[in-house]
Amino acid sequence: PSPTNNPATSPAAYHTLNSDDLPPANAAAARPAPLKGFLTSPEWHTGGYANPQYYNDPESTMEFYYIGLSDVMTGMTSFPGFDTVVEPRIAASASRGKHAILRFYMDYPRPAGSYVSHTPQFLIDDYNLQMTPWSSVDLNAVGSSPDYSDENLKTALANFAAALGNRYDGDNRVGYIQVGLLGFWGEWHTWTEDPATHSWIPDATKTALIDAFDAAFETTQIQIRYPHWYAVGANQRQGLGLHDDSFAHSTIDEGVYGAPMSWFFWSQVQASAATDFWMSGAMGGEVRPELQATIFDDNYAAGTQYKQDFGLCAETTHATYMLDYYAFATSYSGNALASARAASDQMGYAFRLAEVSVAEGSDGGTVDITASVIQDGIAPFYYDLSLELSCPDGYSGTVGGVDDIVSEGSTASFTFTAVPATSTCLSSLGFSLSSSYALAGASVKFAQGVSDGEVVEVSLPLPPTSPPTPQPTSVVTSSPTKNPTPLPTFSPTSPPTTLPTELPTAQPTPIPSAPPTALPTAQPTSTPSEPPTAMPTSPPTHAPTPMEPITPSPTNNPATSPAAYHTLNSDDLPPANAAAARPAPLKGFLTSPEWHTGGYANPQYYNDPESTMEFYYIGLSDVMTGMTSFPGFDTVVEPRIAASASRGKHAILRFYMDYPRPAGSYVSHTPQFLIDDYNLQMTPWSSVDLNAVGSSPDYSDENLKTALANFAAALGNRYDGDNRVGYIQVGLLGFWGEWHTWTEDPATHSWIPDATKTALIDAFDAAFETTQIQIRYPHWYAVGANQRQGLGLHDDSFAHSTIDEGVYGAPMSWFFWSQVQASAATDFWMSGAMGGEVRPELQATIFDDNYAAGTQYKQDFGLCAETTHATYMLDYYAFATSYSGNALASARAASDQMGYAFRLAEVSVAEGSDGGTVDITASVIQDGIAPFYYDLSLELSCPDGYSGTVGGVDDIVSEGSTASFTFTAVPATSTCLSSLGFSLSSSYALAGASVKFAQGVSDGEVVEVSLPLPPTSPPTPQPTSVVTSSPTKNPTPLPTFSPTSPPTTLPTELPTAQPTPIPSAPPTALPTAQPTSTPSAPPTALPTAVPTSPPTHAPTPMEPITPSPTNNPTTPPTTSPVVAHKTIVCGRGDIEDKPCAEGLKDTAPIDEMHEVRCCRDCTGINCKKPWKRKCATFDSDLYARSKVSGVCKVGTFAE
């Protein structure tokens, strides 16, 4: 992501502005934001495209056009409609400062009597194209579909794509082009109640059209209606995205339908292993028409059947734009309008200036200014975008590459050199964004500032007169996977040479009979302590523990294997079913046994949703009685852990010293020996807001820090790697061990020095190698650039102040996720688990149908969980009172949503190395939002006594990711192959509480599979669904998705107007259910575009494009001698001391051509895409030639 002119090293900065010094994040400041948000079609409103009359709040920056193909194309190479139909519309939109989005169609369903075919007439008259009339009661419509298998039609469509691209590719007035053309409304389906219509569009026609549009458009973004194996996933085309025209209706499967909804949009994306498509191509679509009027109402029943939460759908799909006719025809008002504005802001990109530093230039009269830009949005800016800097002295500089900041929370730095070192210039610097795709008067702005983000103004001081001592700055880096930047650790002073006599321990402090009081609803005006402005003078005791990279594929999975003679794909295996994984260890909702009758020994509480963990608050004084004395491990901690384990539940622990209580019931849990023997000072406090009192220790005391470090070391020595302990919350500091001392008195806010926090982070990081640890807030020393392996976060006001949904009138920078974003730590969950507690006052109602999700301090649980990648949450109410009815169903679904969810996606079998065995390869997909944070293996067994185990399932981290696991030498007997059982195993699974697949009708403990015996003669290799955890491999032909549900009904369409039939109301969406038939399988070879009958005019033949790699034959190649070879690797390269991490390595002839893509320099598990664009040319003498930041680079893999 960094521009190539950003030097790897630069002079030390003499001054730095961080986020607190710059204008605050404010999504509204970017309005109107080009190329994102809501839009309508001018031709659905009075005045048409020339002078449309529609509301414009939320502000729209795009306009949509449906155009019939027959209105544009009149012959194989004749397109007069470009001038008479298309161009006037694009020009009219551009004159209003709006980008056009186009879709062309041939068969637009209409009520009987109003239908007009838009299949070009010349194909019928001159090429004998056959048409099939159809009618549908469910659609209340008729139509006429062309023979989509006709070779002349395919030639015509390819010619149209080429001509459209030749005319409009790179035209900055056109924002996106939806490929359309095929099926009803150009939506690539022909679904009616008659199953005979479902298979009218052959897959060969789809693949040919994908090739044609991919070849025609190099710059302008194109989109297709559904994920197709030939365009996304392993075959992702650069610049090709998707659109969902039933958005928020059948987009995501929230688990409330009684069965997996495999035909839902995102389910198809996941089945195609294409969940990262948005990194290459934009996500668009249309809010389902019947939802548009109510989707932003306070009482909209989000999360019920076919009424999905807009924010969750947008976040999941990384949506950039959505059609919403109602918003512009009728308009929202009140809270609904505020929510619609926030939803518009949520979509697409959102850039913010996060840090600005200045260093002396190479000569005495200039300075170098480096700016860090952070992406707060959920999707990239899909065209060129640069950062500009100007000042009144006439200086102006531009650095490209802002469009390379793809993922939410990612950053990049841009350096401007030779800026005049004058007070006139430095006191009035202006940063702005520029793009060749921005139309006149419609610039791309920062999502930052009080009102307008077009220019972020910054003032910097002149250089010092003498060389300054470099000051530390808040490290902001675009690569969250770099090894932790060495930052200072705290060095505790030595304890007295003669330790005092230890005091006897007291009896364990009684555990509260009710859940703890939560944080006050009002928050402080000050910000929690930031990274220190000056480093400690003492040297660090050690550098932060480097984060271990996780490789996505198990190393024992061979890179090559014999051709499979039989493959089972997702349709042949048990269906996805989150409930089948219950009770799921180490995830979901939980409570504390000590908040219920019976206590830890025999707790009496409800267990629905099923809980697999129990939480314990423990006072430090109940455990620690001296600097090296911890009798409470045996008397307090161990009994609780053992009791939970006896119930098959993992323990979660948090230790504390200062637990606020009402006056008269407070007991300090600061160890007494520190007060008596080390003169630790205590500060009593009281708070009206908290209705509580307490006594805080002097957190700056060196002996206290030593004691806490000793405690961490002893706790880790005792329990690190103990599989009975699921997670440990670091706690200890502040109220409730939550690392803050917030009351209405600002004097309390700074009681915990940052040096104490960093010392405790170091201590726990050193003490725990296996067991996951968590802290309450993102801290610069533990996450972001300094991410510690196995360290996560917990939010104890979950769904109350977790995410800023833009309904508060100002940015809520103190909200949990806002702090995570400000710390550039949005990928922390890949290393450490996310936990916490549902805010207590929300617990009773959060899953009710009338819960006002999206209003102030009432956030949608699903959206919060999806955003934070939550694994577990405390919810006392669920177990004390219990939910019922719809609320219980929603709570179960929410519990299922959290954490991991694995599913067997494909099983293939190949003949083994001898005649009596086979090799079985299973592909596992992660459907969950977070990893399994401990070891997890795939096991295979059969009645013949065979048993095999392959590790690495825990390496499948991100939702939609897959990995393959091969079991060799499996007995090739009917007894074995007819009764194979796949299961999951972990050393962290307690007795009787196994990790299960989220798959199957009832219980996912074992997925049973039956495979045939090997054939008696060598088979012809069949195409199989290759599921790989490495989305950067050259495209592999994959089978298309097979929808399984029958269609129901669509709303009636309204008549069109001349010249091009445009609906007077927005188009109706897809039917709510899908067909039972299966689309045709991928072709073994691409069709050739040869007319089947002599045409009147000679058609321009379509050039077929073969998917890469070019040496991928449909049958095994014959062996031929070669002189020289080169190594083809996926990963860090074929380097002696750094072997290929992913385990994918092969050799090929030196003159054989391969497409090579290069990612940015990153080495850890947080490394994300994008993969850079391929170079236009290829030099076979080079190992690699790749485009980085627009420049082609050459060299060996090692270089």
| Residue-wise DSSP of 500-566 | PPPPPPPPPPPPPSSPPP---SS--SSPPPPSPSS--SSPPSSPPPPPPP--SS-TTS-SS-PPPSE
Has residue 1041 got a pLDDT over 80? Answer: no
At 344, list the tokens: 């518009």
Choose among 721, 726, 583: nearest CA to 645: 726
Count of CB atoms situated within 10 Å of the CB of 783 = 28
Confidence at residue 991, expressed as pLDDT on a 0 to 100 scale:
87
Q: What is the pLDDT of residues 6-15, one digit of tens each?
A: 433 446 899 9
pLDDT band for position 476 (50/70/90)? Answer: very low
Q: Which of 151-155, 404-408, 855-859, 1050-1054 has the lowest mean pLDDT?
A: 1050-1054
Has residue 883 got a pLDDT over 90? Answer: yes
The whole-angstrom separation of Cα 1194 and Cα 1186 is 7
Choose among 416, 293, 299: nearest CA to 3: 416
At 8, list the tokens: 């790897």
Confidence at residue 1147, expressed as pLDDT on a 0 to 100 scale:
67
Choose among 708, 808, 807, 687: nearest CA to 760: 708
Q: Which of 282-296, 706-720, 1003-1017 has the lowest mean pLDDT?
A: 1003-1017
More confident residue, 975 or 1116: 975
Has residue 1164 got a pLDDT over 70? Answer: no
Confidence at residue 1026, expressed as pLDDT on a 0 to 100 scale:
28
Q: How far is CA 324 from the centre of its chain?
A: 24
Has residue 1083 got a pLDDT over 50? Answer: no
Q: How far apart are the first and last CA of the chain?
A: 19
How far is the CA of 526 from the CAs of 114, 530, 814, 867, in angstroms? Answer: 65, 11, 9, 25
Confidence at residue 913, expressed as pLDDT on a 0 to 100 scale:
80
Rg of the chain, C-alpha, whole Å:
31
Confidence at residue 1157, expressed as pLDDT on a 0 to 100 scale:
45
Confidence at residue 1015, expressed as pLDDT on a 0 to 100 scale:
86
Has residue 447 got a pLDDT over 60? Answer: yes
pLDDT band for position 465 (50/70/90)? Answer: low
The whole-angstrom separation of Cα 878 and Cα 647 is 18
Confidence at residue 1195, expressed as pLDDT on a 0 to 100 scale:
58
Q: In what order do the strands lie in the sheet with 1007-1009?
A: 947-951, 937-941, 980-985, 1007-1009
Has residue 483 got a pLDDT over 60? Answer: no
Confidence at residue 944, expressed as pLDDT on a 0 to 100 scale:
85
**pLDDT winner (highest mean) among 465-474, 632-641, 1123-1132:** 632-641
pLDDT band for position 849 (50/70/90)? Answer: very high
How far is the CA of 243 from the CAs of 322, 856, 995, in angstroms? Answer: 9, 31, 36
Q: Which of 292-306, 568-582, 1072-1086 has the lowest mean pLDDT?
A: 1072-1086
Confidence at residue 201, expressed as pLDDT on a 0 to 100 scale:
97
Confidence at residue 905, expressed as pLDDT on a 0 to 100 scale:
94
Has residue 1096 got a pLDDT over 90? Answer: no
Q: Which of 530-534, 702-706, 973-977, 1005-1009 has the lowest mean pLDDT?
A: 530-534
pLDDT band for position 934 (50/70/90)? Answer: very high
- Find out whether 364 and 390 touch, Cβ atoms under 8 Å: no
Mean pLDDT of the chain: 80
Task: Report, as an integer, the average pLDDT of 444-471.
Answer: 79
At 112, list the tokens: 């009987």
Confidence at residue 451, expressed as pLDDT on a 0 to 100 scale:
84
**pTM of this prediction exceeds 0.75:** no
- Find out whether 902 and 984 touch, Cβ atoms under 8 Å: yes
The half-sphere exposure of 537 on its side-chain side, counting CA atoms within 13 A, is 0
The whole-angstrom separation of Cα 579 and Cα 258 is 10
More confident residue, 521 or 571: 571
Choose among 264, 368, 259: nearest CA to 316: 264
Has residue 294 got a pLDDT over 50? Answer: yes
Q: Which of 230-244, 294-308, 1040-1054 has the lowest mean pLDDT?
A: 1040-1054
Confidence at residue 1188, expressed as pLDDT on a 0 to 100 scale:
47
pLDDT band for position 441 (50/70/90)? Answer: confident
Count of CB atoms situated within 10 Å of the CB of 1148 = 15
pLDDT band for position 1176 (50/70/90)? Answer: very low
Task: Report, as an integer, the average pLDDT of 697-721.
Answer: 96
Confidence at residue 805, expressed as pLDDT on a 0 to 100 scale:
87
- The length of the chain, given as a count of residues: 1199
Has residue 1064 got a pLDDT over 60? Answer: no
Q: What is the pLDDT of residues 985-1036, one digit of tens each?
A: 999 999 888 999 999 888 999 999 999 999 863 333 333 332 233 332 233 2
The whole-angstrom separation of Cα 723 and Cα 936 is 13
At 1161, list the tokens: 């320099």
Q: What is the pLDDT of residues 528-555, one digit of tens each?
A: 323 322 222 222 222 222 333 322 333 3
pLDDT band for position 1192 (50/70/90)? Answer: low
The half-sphere exposure of 969 on its side-chain side, counting CA atoms within 13 A, is 5
How far is the CA of 906 from the CAs of 259, 551, 962, in angstroms? Answer: 20, 21, 10
Q: Where are the alpha helices (DSSP H) in 941-1015?
A: 974-977
pLDDT band for position 755 (50/70/90)? Answer: very high
Is 736 exposed, middle or buried (CB count within 10 Å of its CB: 0-12, 13-18, 19+)?
A: buried
Has residue 494 got a pLDDT over 90? Answer: no
Q: Where are the alpha helices (DSSP H) in 106-262?
A: 121-127, 151-168, 203-216
Confidence at residue 1049, expressed as pLDDT on a 0 to 100 scale:
32
Has residue 349 got a pLDDT over 90? Answer: yes
The whole-angstrom separation of Cα 960 and Cα 236 is 15
Task: Report, as an integer, the average pLDDT of 34-59.
Answer: 94
- C-alpha angle 600-587-994 in degrees, rounded to nearest 5: 85
Q: What is the pLDDT of residues 815-835, one digit of tens each?
A: 999 999 999 999 999 999 999
Peptide bond preceding 609 in cis form (omega within 30 of 0): yes
